[in-house]
Structure 1
Amino acid sequence: MKWLENRLVFQPTTAETLWNPPPDNRIQDVWLTSRDGNKIHAWFLPHDGKSPDSRGAVLVSHGNGGNLSDGGDFLLHLAATLDRAVLIYDYPGYGRSSGSPSEEGCYAAADAAYDWLTGEQKFPPNRIVLYGGSLGGGVAVDLASRRDHAALVLVCTFTSLPAAAKVHHPWLPCHTLMSNRFDSLSKIGQCRRPVFMTHGTLDDIVPFDQGQQLFAAANEPKQFVPLEGLYHNVTLDTPVLVQLRKFLDEK
């Protein structure tokens, strides 16, 4: 059951299977070591040579499928629109990262990426935006509940993994059987910085109402942007990112 659960939850693509080259020569390869000993690969796009404390950085936790090389173009768009440096990393077993994926492995990889930004790159913690999409939202909420940050950004994120699984497998006791929890609903109240959330109204993977429940549990200041008529696998377009930048710049 554990093996089957992990196969359903984590759907990594290794670099040997499919890898897209960086879309811009400013993107740097970064290698991290997580507390469980895994080698974690990341891409870093600096903020056009400006000092680290001028605008800050965005730490991106991606979803449960593929690898970070799928998001190269979005990385460029995110950096340009938000006017910040961006670091995106892979979980264990994804892309070029070693190991096998697990909930704790994802958290450890996020910590390693955060420590690299605050340590080696000298970004102040209160200038790091934590961005999570889908499963990455669960990773970002956990990180935000434990580490200081500028703001938390969640895209199409569930309340908890068992709650999301129950939607697709209503006959199974998901809350009892599942070992991977990613229980964002119980953690988001511990996040004391601004929260920006967006969710597709027609999301057929993580229901829209789960995004609303998670938003209701978050502390102020916060903003929720519904993506009308959109499903789960969305790439935020410029108007939403402009709203996000306005939200970040005003906080």
Structure 2
Amino acid sequence: MHPSLRRVRRWALFLLVTYLGIVVVFWFIERQLVFRPSSAEEAWLKPEDPRTQDVWFYSADGTKIFGRWIPSESPQHGAVLVANGNGGNLTHRGRLAADLRRTLGAGVLLFDYPGYGKSAGKPTEEGCYAAGDAAYKWLTDESRIAPNRIILCGESLGGGTAVELATKHEHRALVLIYTFTSLPAAAKHHFPFLPVHTLMRTRFDNLAKIGRCPRPVFLVHGTADRVVPFDHSEQLFTAANEPKLFVRLEGAGHSTLPGDAYLGKLVTFLNTCAP
């Protein structure tokens, strides 16, 4: 065999082994990349709304889940169940909760996934769904909120939990804030060289599920989002059932969506489609 051909084969083998090694490493650290929790010891902020109450409940497997509840003046005003994104903990969503309470007049429940904040356990896709189920149950059983008065709201990764809840539980409307079509699709945007659609175990496949959400759907996304591409919400909007509304925020990034830019539109949408 010609020496130059042997060198080419050696380099090809080296590159193949290196690539496979990178794939294996990413496979092992997948959950560390997906879930970026902050414990209460690492970061804990005071609530934005002085009416905020600390609450606890348990998921079906017995995991203790921490939440913060801003009550409304009456259960008839309903509630917003907020599923957080993948970073920090629920205390970093205090401004969102206060804005929702002020704008909608409904109670607002934040909750932490397993391994986040003060919640026990370790984060997984199934654990996020179970924590969402427990939060929903707390609203209906403990706070006596009628199921058809609960707005399911998910931001970023939390959109996966909100969509899952919307396929299983009665609700007033589904609100998705810069949510992806699926986690592998979002990962492909950042790691185009990896076979993420094949290998990723954490899926949050919102595009496959949103057509099974029977109630009104409201989506908002910034056009300058570099974490979750803008077109993911466009695809979700296309797949969602009517009635639906997509609010496009020009120049807004993943963490710079001002509430006053879309909450007024959400109120109008709810009053029109989900009174």
Once superposed, which parts of structure 1, at least 4 consecutive aligned residues long, lie more than 6 Å away? none
Aligned match for 1:36, one of 61, 68, 75: 61
Tell me the TM-score normalised to structure 2 length. 0.88
Aligned match for 1:22, one of 23, 39, 47: 47
Alignment correspondent of 2:84:
62
Tell me the TM-score normalised to structure 1 length. 0.96
Structure 1 distance, partners of 2:96, 2:238, is: 28
Aligned match for 2:179, one of 153, 157, 160: 157
Higher helix share: 2
Whether the aligned pair in 2 keeps the contact of 1:42 and 1:90 (CA below 8 Å) is yes
1:181-220 to structure 2, matched below 5 A, reads 181-220=203-242
Residue type matched to 1:224 in 2? F
Aligned match for 2:168, one of 146, 157, 169: 146
Whether the aligned pair in 2 keeps the contact of 1:12 and 1:95 (CA below 8 Å) is yes
Instruction: In structure 2, list runs of 5 or more residues that go unmatched.
Output: 1-25
Instruction: In structure 1, list runs of 5 or more residues that go unmatched.
Output: none
Whether the aligned pair in 2 keeps the contact of 1:206 and 1:232 (CA below 8 Å) is yes
Structure 1 distance, partners of 2:129, 2:159, is: 11
Residue type matched to 1:143 in 2? L
**What SS does the aligned partner of 2:158 have?**
helix
Deviations 1:159-187 (A, max 9, x none): 00000000111111101110000000000
Alignment correspondent of 1:82:
104
Whether the aligned pair in 1 keeps the contact of 2:222 and 2:257 (CA below 8 Å) is no
Whether the aligned pair in 2 keeps the contact of 1:62 and 1:135 (CA below 8 Å) is yes
Alignment correspondent of 1:116:
138
**What SS does the aligned partner of 2:220 have?**
strand
Q: Which has the larger radius of gyration?
A: 2
Give me the CA root mean square deviation. 1.0
Paired residues, number:
248
Deviations 1:109-145 (A, max 9, x none): 0000000001111111110000000000011001101
CA shift, 1:2, in A, is 4.7
Deviations 1:29-66 (A, max 9, x none): 0101001221100000001x32x12x210000010000
* Aligned residues with identical type, % of pairs: 56
Alignment correspondent of 2:149:
127
Structure 2 distance, partners of 1:210, 1:235, is: 16
Whether the aligned pair in 2 keeps the contact of 1:58 and 1:130 (CA below 8 Å) is yes
Whether the aligned pair in 1 keeps the contact of 2:96 and 2:259 (CA below 8 Å) is no
1:222 matched to 2:244? The reply is yes
